[in-house]
Amino acid sequence: MPVIAVIDYDMGNLHSACKGLEKAGAETVVSDRHQDLLAADAVVLPGVGAFDPAMQHLRSRHLVSVIQDILASGKPFLGICLGLQILFDGSEEGTEPGLGIIPGLVKRFCPEPGITIPHMGWNQLQLTQPDLPLWQKLPMQPWVYFVHSYYVEPVDPQLKAATITHGSQTVTAAIANNNLTAVQFHPEKSADAGLQMLSNFVSQVKSKVLA
């Protein structure tokens, strides 16, 4: 059974993500201890809340270099919601520098008639990397659950793995690059499609462990 570490940095409920991973056949460890994260077969960086406090918590626990080392090691890594945004250089939400792993910025939705901010509820993904392991056994336009006022804009558009449309704006919903995948939506709240994604991630980890 693969061991997946879920990074604990006091930014949101981690246990719903753990339940989905465990249902898919993984053992989860919720921790901020460097040795736990480095020893795991894969790592999940979840998060709910604001950009600046998230980065302050990560820095206070000396987790920035650990996350960078994990990504450089090639082990599977999944970011969820705020765990996607803090991978970027910075955010219009605050002033703290992000992790700088993905070049680009986090931007606020532009207000326009007829749309709500935050973007909250179900929306359909447009898969721009349809062969991504996370999308296995999913329909071409799966419905997933969002709660966010900001979206990521990578410098390299080829990193976009999925987009959504909110009002007249088409924005990034997921990114992927080598062993790193990160999503703006909440798989653990996205019913069967979300559980399939978590199962796909666990299958990816199992394949890596057996390789």
Structure tokens belonging to residue 108: 């606020």
Q: How far apart are CA 21 and CA 25, in angstroms?
A: 7
Q: Please, what is the Cα angle at 111 between 108 and 114, to 5 degrees?
A: 130
Beta bridge partners of 150: 108
φ, ψ for residue 139, nearest 5 deg? -65, 165
Q: Please give the Cα distance from 136 to 150 (Å, whole number).
A: 27
- Residues involved in catalysis: 81, 186, 188
Interatomic CA distance for residues 102 and 86, integer angstroms: 9
